[in-house]
Amino acid sequence: MRPERLNPLFAMADTLRGVGPRLEKPLARLGLKRVKDVAYHLPDRFVERRRVKVLRDAKAGDHIIVQLTVVEHRASAGRAPFRVVARDEAGDMVSLTYFGRASHGARKALPVGERREVAGRLEEYGQSLQIVHPDHVSPIAPVPVAACATDGSEAANVLQGADLLCEPVYPLTDGLTNHRMQSLVAQAMQPAPPLPEWIEPGLMQKQGWSSWRDALEEAHRSGRKEARNRLAYDELLASALALMLVRADNRRRRGPALIGTGTLRGRLQLPFSLTGAQQRSIREIEGDLAQQHPMLRLLQGDVGSGKTVVALNAMLIAVEAGGQAALLAPTEILARQHHQTLCELAQGTGVEIAILTGRDKGRAREAILMGLLDGSIDIIVGTHAIFQDTVNYRNLVLVVVDEQHRFGVGQRLSLTRKARQTAHCLAMTATPIPRTLTLAQYGEMEVSRLDELPPGRKAIDTRVVALDRLDDVAAGLVRHVEAGGQAYWVCPMVHENESADLAAAEARFATLREMLGDAVALVHGQLRPEAKDAAMARFVAGQAKVLVATTVIEVGVNVPNASLMIIEQAERFGLAQLHQLRGRVGRGAEQSVCLLLRGDTLSATARDRLALMRETQDGFRLAEEDLRLRGAGELLGTRQSGDTPFRVATPEQISAMIAIAHDDARLLIDRDGGLQGPRGEAARTLLYLFERDYGVQLLRGG
Ligand code: ADP
Ligand code: MG
């Protein structure tokens, strides 16, 4: 059971004051489900805001707070924004400017004749001054003052005084203002109790860390590195502990020792010979399967490195040993693709391979359930549906999980427990991650790496193209389609400007449609799943020639006829993401091309990223470089979701501290394996706090 003192933090976020139905969606988009998530929603940066008496004391570009009297409202006409004209104590005027729906709130918040305190960035607009979408507007009241220490330096710490304020700027999404976020965070912090210390005292002292509660408060108040590092460390320690508990538990468990006879594998007639990396991986898996305890192995290999045939070999060993194997895919489409590929590859082995997804109903489903129960089906491919309670196996001995990062450790555990004994587990991921991160993410598993591509792959011709050559690019796309090819056109989509991004993607879709008609399909994250699947299916079937997409196509879709990938605003993507996207092409016989369209203002790091994309196609190298470039300090606030299993720790913090966390976790478990002592108790709290409680459950069960 979760320790009681954590309960307030686990209350749903909508129990916070002011969270009504209108805020639910924006909060959900940011992943803020519970009070604790809000408390952990840390600022991207801080702005120094100056309190000024009159506008003349500030210059354009300054973030200010000033007291103003509202003079008049100028309604928006046509495309013109809504303006509130206000004057300061000296009589100077400033226009508070609101676009679109934002004007509704402004009317109420700024009644004519009233005095208000307004915070925002002062700008010059022609001859006059304006503040566009003020960060907040409030009745006159004293405001608490904090020191700004965005870089953690001593000099910044001494900056104090009534006229300098330090304000956190939070990651936001449509429908949430920074001001509102500040108040939600403040509320969410209130029930945060002091917690027992789980970090080793020596380490605390050495790093200059404060207690959990103090660190959390400080992280919202200033950018002091120590506070954020401590919070990140907590998360890393929780993860390391949980993974170690899983490993220890796994060693205690008995699994079916599977010794393959080789008969089925002997009948495989592959149209190619296996690469060295594939052979090595299969040997490693074979070794694991022969053990008395369940395999926990990750097969890591770039897109196209040939994971499927490795998985097939593993599954054939399971069948040779008299068992059944299941392959779990994250989506319906991927399940179907896997099923088809496996059937083709395994032709002639006589192995029975079936598919089961949420779509299969009635008779067909019944037949498959029967086959699983009586053992006539050897291998089942499917989505989560294959692990529903109504699905029973005669003898499930191996579970293969594709695109592993979509499933958490806890989820995977529950899947392998479906078997009578714990089944062996092979996880596969196409996301090459740096070695340091492998430990953090898959620390409980052994790793096989497919670091060698099958021979004869043509390199993808990657070019960086300035956006002002869009017309040429579009013309090239038309020629490509007319010649019978298919193409992806990817538009960026991030939380911060979701609606603008969505509009851009839709606009692009519309233009391409004008040129190519029905042959263009659109998928984005806000479509209903059925609509998304339908559009994808049209593209897979070749009915649609161009797929305009936000990044939702990342995961494993295989359309060999698509040999052109166009990525718009490529500078806004991280290297790992660009690499994943590019991997969608280069799967057929055709020479593939990837065009990275870039805007005209590029940061140095963005330029480096794009250059690297041109230079190499080695996913492992790109992953290492990605990490290094982030270390250079960019990308705060544009973190790619699904990157790592961590919400608090950044990739840099992970590389810097994961090894320490692992050593610390090991020491703790060596000394107090049942987590019974005071620090052990604190560590249990930590596991619950970060929802790694499957670790605690293993302790109990153990
Ligand atoms: P992944 O799942 O790792 O992205 P796949 O298993 O889908 O890659 O393999 C990609 C393609 O390469 C498939 O068409 C597959 O048949 C082919 N392939 C796999 N192994 C080899 C090999 N050793 N030699 C040549 N082609 C291979
Ligand atoms: Mg694959």
Q: What would the pLDDT profile of 66-107 be if each residue is shown by its tens digit?
A: 999 999 999 877 777 899 999 999 999 999 998 877 777 888
Spatial contact of 467 and 599, defined as CB atoms under 8 Å apart: yes
- Residue 355 Cα to ligand 1 middle (Å): 21
What gap in Å lies between CA 601 and CA 467, rounded to an integer? 11
Assign 226 to helix, strand or coil. helix
What gap in Å lies between CA 493 and CA 219, rounded to an integer? 28
DSSP structural state of residue 9: G
For residues 516-522, give the mean pLDDT. Answer: 94
For residue 380, list its beta bridge partners: 326, 354
Q: Which CATH superfamily is domain 461-616 in?
A: P-loop containing nucleotide triphosphate hydrolases (3.40.50.300)
pLDDT at 295: 92
Is the pLDDT assigned to residue 160 strictly greater than 60? no
Spatial contact of 307 and 361, defined as CB atoms under 8 Å apart: no
- Residue 271 Cα to ligand 2 middle (Å): 17
Is the CB of residue 303 below 6 angstroms from any atom belonging to ligand 1?
Answer: yes
Report the percentage of the chain scoring pLDDT > 90: 53
Spatial contact of 334 and 555, defined as CB atoms under 8 Å apart: yes
Residue minimizing CA distance to atom 2 of ligand 1: 307
DSSP structural state of residue 654: H
- Per-residue pLDDT tens over the stretch 240-280: 999 888 888 888 888 889 999 999 999 999 999 999 999 99
Is the CB of residue 400 below 6 angstroms from any atom belonging to ligand 1?
Answer: no
Q: Which top CATH class is 46-169?
A: mainly beta
Give the chain's largest Cα–Cα span: 92
Q: Are strands 353-356 and 324-328 parallel, antiparallel or unpaired?
A: unpaired
pTM: 0.70
Report the interhelical angle of 307-320 vs 276-289 (nearest 10°): 30
- Per-residue pLDDT tens over the stretch 470-514: 999 999 999 999 999 999 999 987 656 677 788 889 999 999 999
| Ligand in nearest proximity to the CA of 312 | 1
Residue minimizing CA distance to atom 16 of ligand 1: 306
Is the pLDDT assigned to residue 409 strictly greater than 70? no
Is the CB of residue 430 below 6 angstroms from any atom belonging to ligand 1?
Answer: yes
Is the CB of residue 580 below 6 angstroms from any atom belonging to ligand 1?
Answer: no
Amino acid at 504: A
Is the CB of residue 338 below 6 angstroms from any atom belonging to ligand 1?
Answer: no
Best mutation site among 268, 272, 333, 453 for ligand 1 pocket (most ligand atoms within 8 Å of CB)? 272
Q: Do domains 258-450 and 461-616 have the same CATH topology?
A: yes
Spatial contact of 290 and 424, defined as CB atoms under 8 Å apart: no
Task: Find the DSSP H helices in 222-274.
Answer: 225-252, 263-267
End-to-end CA distance of the chain: 16
Top pLDDT among 8 and 429 is at: 8
Q: Which top CATH class is 258-450?
A: alpha beta
Ligand 1 atom at minimal distance to the Cα of residue 278: 23
Burial of 527 (0-12, 13-18, 19+ CB in 10 A): middle
Domain ranges of the chain: 1-44+174-192, 46-169, 258-450, 461-616
What gap in Å lies between CA 591 and CA 280, rounded to an integer? 30
Helices and strands (DSSP H and E) totals, the chain: 24, 21
Q: Which residue has the tokens 């936001």?
A: 172
- Per-residue pLDDT tens over the stretch 303-314: 788 999 999 999
Structure token digits, residue 17: 């004051």
CA quadruple 303, 306, 308, 313: dihedral positive or negative?
negative
Top pLDDT among 627 and 115 is at: 115
354-366 burial by CB neighbour count: b if 16+ within 10 A, else e?
bbbbeebeeeebe
- Closest among 210, 173, 183, 212 to 38, alpha carbons compared: 183
Instruction: Give the fold, CATH level 3, of 1-44+174-192.
Output: DNA polymerase; domain 1 (1.10.150)
Residue minimizing CA distance to atom 15 of ligand 1: 306
Ligand 1 atom at minimal distance to the Cα of residue 270: 16
Cα–Cα–Cα angle for 281, 282, 286, nearest 5°? 120
Structure token digits, residue 682: 């604190």
